[in-house]
Structure 1
C-alpha cells in the first residue's frame, strides 16, 4: 500500500510478543508426557501426514495475532488536496531597450540575448503574477499586454530582436511612459515596472522625469537596470552591404543619475549589470523583493484500512478453531 500512515503506531510494540509465543510453543512441545510399555507391536500403523501438519494451527494463530496488531495500529491512507488563493497578486511590465547598442558584446553573446535568457527565467519563476512586455528605442510599443499566460510572454521575449522596426536611439521616457500606460488601470495590489537601458536618453518626446512622476501618481514602483560594462566595449557602429554589423571598441555611457532618480522617486531600486552573472543576480534580487502573498488550504481525506486486517485476523482464528476440532482433532 502506498502513502499509508498509522494512527496508533505504538501498538507495533506488541510484535515483541510474537518471539515469546514462538519460544513458549517450542518449549512446551519438548515437554511431552511419556509412557513406557514392553512392546509397541499392537500400535504399529502408517504415520499420518496430518500429524506433521499440526504446527500449522500455531502458524495460523501467529498470523492472526500479527494481523490484529496491524489493525490496532489503525493503518490509513491520506488524500491531500490543495486550494490556493492569491491574496496579493502583482502586475509587472518589463520595458526593454532594443536599440542597436544592445548588440554590444560585453555580455555574452551580446546584451540583448543575455537579457532575454535572464528575463525568461524571471517570468517562469513568477507563475502567480501577470506580466507584460514593452520594447523601445527612439520609439516604443507594447509587445505583450499584462497577462497571466506565461507561454505568450515567453514567446514574445524569444521574438525580441534588433530589426530596425523602431527608429534607433534611446527614448527612456518613451519606454517608461508606455509601460505606465499598461499598468495605470491595473487593479493589482502591487504594480511594478522593470526598466532596462544601456545608454542615455537621447530620443523621444516624453521626458523620463515626467514619466516617472506619472508612475508615482499611479502607485507604480520602478526598478531600473543599467546594462553594460565599465569602460570600453565592442559595439556595432555600421552595417556592411551583406547585412552584418561592423564592430569597434567604444565608450560605454549609461545615464546612471537619471536611472537612480527614477527608481528613488517611485520607491524602486537601481541596479547595474556589468556581466551575465550580475544581470542574473539582479533579476533574482527583484524576484525576492517583489513577493506574491499566497494563501494555501489543505484538505485531508482519510481512508481507514484497518478493517481488512481485523477481518483477516478473525478468519484465521476461525480457521484454526475449525481445523483443531475437525481435521486435527485426533492429534491434539
Structure 2
C-alpha cells in the first residue's frame, strides 16, 4: 500500500511526548521517595494503594498515547487514492524567454538567462490555476511548452533551456510575439497575458507592431521584464562556460545593453507593464500579483485529479478519545489515606 506524508517534519514532536513521559516517571519516583522518609513499608499501601499506582501508570500511558496520536495527525498520513473533480479558474500566461547569446552577459548573477529562468520560477510559486506555456527565441522562435496546467513538466523543460535551444543566432523579438500569440488556446479577447523576459535587443522584427496586433486581434496584454545594465552594458562570454574570452566583432569586444525603450513601447501598446529589472533582484511574486493576476480570469474545464485520501481525522479522533479517558481516570483516582500515624494513635 502506498503511503504519502504531508508533514514528515512533525515527527519531531515525538521528542516532546517522550519528555513529558520522563517528567511523569521522575515525579512518581520522587513522590514515592518523599513518602518513604516518614512512612514505613507497612503504611505505604495505605498512602499509595495498588489501585492508585495502577491509575497513575494508566494515565501516563494515556497521556503518551494522546501525544503520539496528535503527532501522527500532524504528519498528515495519506493512503488510498481517490478521483476528484477540481474546477479550474485562471488566465493563460505565455512566457517568452530570450535565449540569444547576449543573455549570457554577466551583469546579473549568474547571467541574464539564469536570472530570467529564476524569475519565471518565482512567478510559478504564486500562480494557482493558470495555464502556462513557454516560447524561446533568438534568431528564430520555438514553442517549448504548449499551454498546460502541469507545472512540474513546465519546470523541467524550463531547466533544460539554454542558448543552444535555438541554433540560429540573433534576436527576433517581433517574431517571438507572433509565435506566442498563436500558442494561446482561448479564442476570446481577454483572459490572456504574455510575459517577455529579455534584454530588449532586436533585429528589425517590428516587435511593437506585433504587440499592437496581438492586443487588438486577441486581447493579449504583454508584460515585459528588462534584464541587463542599461547604461554601461556588459560583455558577452564567447564560450558556454563563460571563461575569460568574450565575443568580438571586427576585433572589438561586443557590449550588450538593456534596450528599455522597445520593451516600454511593447507594454504600453498592450495595456501591460514594463518591469525594468535591470541588474536588481525583483520580487516576481509581487509583480505577478500587482500586474499579471489582475487580468480577468476565466473558468476552465473541470480537471479530474487522482490524489491520496487524507486520514489525519482518524488519529485526531483517537487522540481526543485518549485525552477524555485520561480526564475521567483522574476523577476515579483514589485519594491517599489520611495521616497513618494519627490513625495509629487513635487505634491504640
Bin the TM-score by the shorter chain. 0.5 to 0.7
- Pair 1:272-2:264 in alignment: no
Q: Distance in 2 between matches of 1:224 and 1:104?
A: 19
TM-score normalised over the length of structure 2: 0.57
Q: Does the 8 Å contact 2:247/2:253 carry over to 1?
A: no
Q: Does the 8 Å contact 2:125/2:285 carry over to 1?
A: no
Q: Distance in 2 between matches of 1:282 and 1:136?
A: 24
The partner residue of 2:48 within 28, 32, 56 is 56
2:138 aligned partner: 137
2:106 aligned partner: 105
1:163 aligned partner: 164
Q: Does the 8 Å contact 1:229/1:273 carry over to 2?
A: no
Q: Which runs of 5+ in 2 are unaligned?
A: 1-10, 14-34, 77-83, 298-309, 338-346
Deviations 1:159-196 (A, max 9, x none): 22222834322221111122222225278984321112
2:213 aligned partner: 213
1:224 aligned partner: 224
CA RMSD of aligned residues (A): 4.9
Q: Distance in 1 between matches of 2:96 and 2:186?
A: 17
Residues 166 and 215 (structure 1 numbering): CA distance in 2 closer, same or farther, change over 3 Å?
Answer: farther
Q: State the 1:77 CA deviation.
A: 6.6
1:307-318 alignment runs, 5 A limit: 307-309=324-326, 312=329, 316=333
Q: How many residues of Structure 1 are paired with residues of Structure 2 in the alignment?
A: 262
Local SS of the residue matching 1:138: coil
1:13 aligned partner: none
Q: Distance in 2 between matches of 1:320 and 1:282?
A: 66
Local SS of the residue matching 1:118: helix
Q: Distance in 1 between matches of 2:108 and 2:124?
A: 21
Deviations 1:116-153 (A, max 9, x none): 23333333443543322101123211011122222322
1:29 aligned partner: none
Deviations 1:281-322 (A, max 9, x none): 1524323324499xxxx99957342552366357655x999x
Local SS of the residue matching 1:202: coil
- Pair 1:178-2:179 in alignment: yes
Residues 231 and 307 (structure 1 numbering): CA distance in 2 closer, same or farther, change over 3 Å?
Answer: closer
2:8 aligned partner: none
1:186-265 alignment runs, 5 A limit: 190-204=191-205, 208-236=208-236, 245-247=246-248, 249-250=253-254, 252-265=256-269
Q: State the 1:88 CA deviation.
A: 3.7
Q: Does the 8 Å contact 1:105/1:233 carry over to 2?
A: no
Q: Distance in 2 between matches of 1:226 and 1:167?
A: 22
List, as ranges, runs of 4+ consecutive aligned residues in structure 1 with deviation greater than 6 Å: 75-81, 83-87, 186-189
Residues 109 and 307 (structure 1 numbering): CA distance in 2 closer, same or farther, change over 3 Å?
Answer: closer
Q: Does the 8 Å contact 1:271/1:282 carry over to 2?
A: no
Q: Does the 8 Å contact 2:194/2:223 carry over to 1?
A: yes
Structure with bigger strand share is 1
Q: Does the 8 Å contact 2:109/2:115 carry over to 1?
A: yes
Q: Does the 8 Å contact 2:197/2:226 carry over to 1?
A: yes
Residues 150 and 100 (structure 1 numbering): CA distance in 2 closer, same or farther, change over 3 Å?
Answer: same
Deviations 1:177-224 (A, max 9, x none): 2222222527898432111222343244x6542333323543322111
Q: Distance in 1 between matches of 2:119 and 2:98?
A: 15
Q: Distance in 1 between matches of 2:228 and 2:170?
A: 16
Q: Which runs of 5+ in 1 are unaligned?
A: 4-25, 27-47, 322-330
1:7 aligned partner: none
Q: Distance in 1 between matches of 2:50 and 2:261?
A: 89
Residues 51 and 180 (structure 1 numbering): CA distance in 2 closer, same or farther, change over 3 Å?
Answer: same
